[in-house]
């Protein structure tokens, strides 16, 4: 694993327990940020701590996972991005950014860093699964070279499926 990985403006690194309060406040506990993600916002700090522990376990088990996204210039935590094995056996690229980080091209930059990691890991394909009500995320994946490949139900609602060969 080559994480941490740095881009022009962002660094991907492993989450630490010290990240949990900011991650909960800015990302996982924010209903607006989480409206298209999974089952929505996490209920409390303990749930965020458990999520970060699960990310670390996935990293150990699979060699990849979700990482903290921080601004290179400030060191501020602004989101997560990473790769995760799905229940279907695919590797999915995902990202979730704090509201203050929206509209700045951070999702695309973080996605590029994740794709570089996927290539180094020897992965052949990555998927993106995006809530159909979130066209901005579809545009990010298309910028990253993903192509539409139908729809599926995830978390009880329709999602677009996009694929990218590596």
Give the pLDDT confidence of 127-160 residue by residue, as tens digits.
999 999 999 999 999 999 999 999 999 888 999 9
The Cα–Cα gap between 54 and 126 comes to: 21
CA-CA-CA-CA dihedral for 22, 26, 28, 30, to nearest 10: 140
The model's pLDDT over 25-62, given as tens digits with 9 standing for 90+, comes to: 999 999 989 888 888 899 999 999 999 999 999 888 88
Query: What confidence score (pLDDT) does residue 36 get?
Result: 86
Q: What is the pTM of this model?
A: 0.91
In sequence order, the β-bridge partners of residue 70 are 11, 77
Residue 80 and residue 27 in contact, taking contact as beta carbons nearer than 8 Å: yes
The model's pLDDT over 6-32, given as tens digits with 9 standing for 90+, comes to: 888 999 999 999 999 999 999 999 998
pLDDT at 1 over 50: no
> Which domains are assigned to the chain?
5-123 (3.40.630.30)
Question: Which phi and psi angles does 129 have, rounded to 5°?
Answer: -125, 115
Question: Which phi and psi angles does 107 have, rounded to 5°?
Answer: -60, -40
């Amino acid at each position: 694993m080559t994480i941490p990985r740095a881009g022009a403006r962002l660094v991907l690194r492993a989450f630490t327990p010290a990240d949990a309060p900011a991650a909960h406040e800015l990302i996982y506990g924010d209903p607006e940020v989480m409206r298209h993600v999974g089952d929505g916002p996490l209920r409390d700090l303990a749930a965020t701590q458990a999520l970060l522990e699960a990310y670390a376990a996935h990293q150990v088990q699979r060699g990849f996972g979700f990482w903290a996204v921080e601004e290179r210039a400030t060191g501020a935590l602004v989101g997560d991005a990473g790769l995760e094995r799905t229940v279907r056996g695919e590797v999915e690229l995902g990202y979730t950014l704090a509201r203050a980080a929206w509209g700045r091209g951070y999702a695309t930059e973080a996605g590029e860093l994740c794709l570089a990691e996927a290539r180094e890991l020897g992965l052949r394909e990555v998927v993106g699964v995006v809530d159909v009500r979130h066209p901005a995320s579809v545009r990010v994946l298309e910028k990253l070279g993903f192509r539409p490949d139908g729809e599926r139900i995830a978390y009880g609602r329709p999602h677009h499926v996009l694929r990218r060969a590596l």
